[in-house]
Structure 1
Amino acid sequence: MIELLTSGVALGVHVPGLLLADRLRERGGQARVTVLERLLPPEKLATTAAMRAAFHRDFRVALVGQRIATDPVDAVPGDRLDALFVEWAERHVRRFVVFSGYWLPVVAEYRDRYGHVEVDVCHVDSTASPSFTGHRDTSARQVWLADADAGRLPATIPVSREPQVPWARRGRSLVLHGGGWGMGTYRERVGELRAAGYALDVVAHEEADAEVDDPDVRYHLIDPRWHPWLDDGYPPFGRLRPGRPTAFARGTGHHGSFDLVRTAMAAVGKPGGGTLLDSLWSATPLVFLEPFGAHEQRNGELWQRLGFGITLEAWRDRGCSPDVLEELHLALRGAAWRVPDLSELLLRGGAR
């Protein structure tokens, strides 16, 4: 049994955990996902939900909030940790894959109580993200899905086994999104990108985001009532049609927004780690907006170094040409299949 430890604070951390669980099960492995926020008391969860709304509405607030974030484990009641440890022991959990650094002291305490366990730390970003800044486990194996320092992709988690969509079959459309919390300045780019002649699929965060009355600007929504700590499924996702109920559906085997990305000419947004993963497996280039912190800045630099992405400013200087995006797509095409599959590495007994 492999326990995958994620956090609902960012879908770029949680969704890769769900993807890895599915890929492990497809190979006959046993895997379970545990979300850190399920241990928190209701008042702390309410604060987290309020922060999510504030970060979406003002990216400047998000940038400040990242610098002053507190460790959520400090708010976990001791009896909840005790109950979790008993559950792990009863299920004979001896291997963990940690996607959020906040889990590391929890796993260390479990090891102190119940003996040796194997720990793999899976970095979705290309350099250490904030949750790992103050938490280290020198005995854990460090697994990188992207490595900014080395300029390479050491391992990956397949998002989908479906063939990548050829360039000739893609419409002249872009996907705009701000990650799981809808952060960044992507909504401010709608007018400019429509003027450049692209149809847009905009991943909204709330119904009020659908401000443009244009048949070539389509809005989509993650169910705002859903949170990662409620269930183990992918986020319910649907087309937003103002004045009509949104028909939310869960993706099978992967998250619903990936189906938009894989048929687009590019995805436009901040360079989060989960966004890099979607780009790699869809062969869809990234057009970068302002990053959320230093780790996302490094993500964008790596994608540009590999020839997989471009900043909006640089693309604008080249006339927002689809030919530029096609060059990036050609660099991406097939690249995912040349990267070691983390699910295979784990089931072989190791990760590198």
Structure 2
Amino acid sequence: MIAVLTSGVALGAHVPGLRLAQRLRERGADVMVDVLERRLPADRLAAVVESRRRFQRDLRFAVAAQGLATDPVDDIAPRTVAALEKHWEDQGVETFVVFSGFWLRLLDGYLDRRPTRTIACHVDAVVSPSYRRAGRCAPGAEHVWLAREDGTLPWTIPVDTRPPVSWPARGGRLLVHGGGWAIGSYRERARELAGAGLPLDLIVPEASAAVEGVRCLTLDPDWHPWHDDGLPPLLEVPTEPGRPADSRGRGRQLSYELARSASAIVSKPGGGTLLDSLWTATPLVLLEPAGGHEAANGRLWRRLGFALSYDDWRADGFAPERLEPLHRALLGAAARPRNLLDGLLTPRT
């Protein structure tokens, strides 16, 4: 049994974890997914949701909070930890794959008593806040990186088996979003891009945040990462005032599918967005990062020729010809890193 351990606070790490679990099951592996926030008491979980709303209102607050936030493991009751450890034993977990450093602290004592292969998967090019908080916990863990600040892509999670959509078939449409937590300047940039006559899809946190004159999509309100192991589905926001988005499953889409047919993803450079860009061969137009780890991601993508900054593109009048060389640089790039599935399913020597 392989246990994939994620955090719903960071969809940029949670969704890659879900993708990994999906691919492992397709290879016949027994996999369970667990989300850290499922173990939190109700009041602490409510505080997480409120923090998300505050972050959406002010990117500066989100960046500052990374250095001030308390470790959620402090709020998990000892009896909850004991029940979780018994569950791992009963299920015969042989490998943990961790997508949030907070899990390493929770695993620390268990691994001392019951040594188990543990792989810490880093989706960012430098140590992210959750792994920084983990410190020396779980010292025996193997660390794998999907991207490195030195300009390499050591490992990857195979998101898709289809080839990227050809450049002529994309039609110039853009995908604009604020990452998994929908934060930053993406709505203002969407207005500017729409004003320049560019077609786009904009992902907003709720229907009330829709931008007039732009095709907007929002996360299905019935989906939540600590209640659902499926990928986050999107619903199109109706253009008619007062009409709610249909949450009964009709018209559900995934942001990855929108990225496949886009000519660029306009977003801050979170780890999940890098993975989408890599596997769809879709260039990134970089918005302001949320913290040093995202800034490092953006520098890496520019260094590899996969991205340009929003300001640079605007200075060129949003010229579409600036994007095609980035797409060509991305073509075939997903085949170069080592496949994390092989690292998990091949017996260690």
Q: TM above 0.5, one fold?
A: yes
What per-residue deviation string (whole Å, max 9, x for no partner) do you get for residues 128-150 of structure 1? 100011213331111000011x2
Indicate the residue corresponding to 2:201 in structure 1.
201
Indicate the residue corresponding to 1:240 in structure 2.
237
Gapped regions of structure 2 (runs ≥ 5): none
CA distance in 1, matches of 2:224, 2:299: 31
Indicate the residue corresponding to 1:119 in structure 2.
118
CA distance in 2, matches of 1:205, 1:350: 43
SS of aligned partner of 2:155: coil
What per-residue deviation string (whole Å, max 9, x for no partner) do you get for residues 96-135 of structure 1? 111101011211111233x211111100111110001121
Indicate conservation of the 8 Å contact 2:221/2:247, yes or no: no
CA distance in 2, matches of 1:275, 1:295: 13
What per-residue deviation string (whole Å, max 9, x for no partner) do you get for residues 38-65 of structure 1? 1100111111111111111221221222
Indicate the residue corresponding to 1:38 in structure 2.
38
* 1:1-352 mapped onto 2 (5 Å cutoff): 1-113=1-113, 115-135=114-134, 136=136, 137-148=138-149, 150-212=150-212, 214=213, 217-242=214-239, 243-248=242-247, 256-349=254-347
Indicate conservation of the 8 Å contact 1:234/1:250, yes or no: no
Letter of the aligned partner of 2:33 in structure 1? Answer: V
Gapped regions of structure 1 (runs ≥ 5): none
Letter of the aligned partner of 1:329 in structure 2? Answer: H
TM-score (norm 2): 0.95
SS of aligned partner of 1:221: strand
Letter of the aligned partner of 1:111 in structure 2? Answer: L
SS of aligned partner of 1:79: helix
CA distance in 2, matches of 1:196, 1:54: 30
Indicate conservation of the 8 Å contact 1:204/1:222, yes or no: yes
CA distance in 1, matches of 2:189, 2:208: 16
Aligned residues: 344
Q: Closer, same or farther in 2 for the Cα pair 1:345/1:272, shift >3 Å?
A: same
Query: Structure 1 residue 69: deviation in Å?
Result: 1.1
CA distance in 1, matches of 2:92, 2:78: 21
Displacement over 4 Å in runs of 4+: 248-251
CA distance in 2, matches of 1:258, 1:3: 24
Letter of the aligned partner of 1:192 in structure 2? Answer: E
> Once structures 1 and 2 are overlaid, which stretch shifts more, 266-275 or 225-234?
225-234
Indicate conservation of the 8 Å contact 2:126/2:148, yes or no: yes
CA distance in 2, matches of 1:346, 1:176: 34
CA distance in 1, matches of 2:24, 2:332: 22
Indicate conservation of the 8 Å contact 1:250/1:256, yes or no: no
Letter of the aligned partner of 2:320 in structure 1? Answer: P
CA distance in 2, matches of 1:280, 1:350: 28
> Once structures 1 and 2 are overlaid, which stretch shifts more, 270-279 or 132-141?
132-141
What per-residue deviation string (whole Å, max 9, x for no partner) do you get for residues 173-216 of structure 1? 1111011110111001123212333111000101111131x2xx
What percentage of residue pairs aligned between the two structures are identical? 51
Indicate conservation of the 8 Å contact 2:56/2:184, yes or no: yes
Letter of the aligned partner of 1:222 in structure 2? Answer: L
Letter of the aligned partner of 2:91 in structure 1? Answer: R
CA distance in 1, matches of 2:192, 2:229: 38
> Once structures 1 and 2 are overlaid, which stretch shifts more, 81-90 or 241-250?
241-250
CA distance in 2, matches of 1:110, 1:223: 36
SS of aligned partner of 1:201: strand
Letter of the aligned partner of 2:243 in structure 1? Answer: R
Query: Structure 1 residue 350: deviation in Å?
Result: 5.1
CA distance in 2, matches of 1:164, 1:49: 35
Indicate conservation of the 8 Å contact 2:222/2:247, yes or no: no
Letter of the aligned partner of 1:236 in structure 2? Answer: P
Query: Structure 1 residue 250: deviation in Å?
Result: 7.4
Q: Closer, same or farther in 2 for the Cα pair 1:35/1:158, shift >3 Å?
A: same
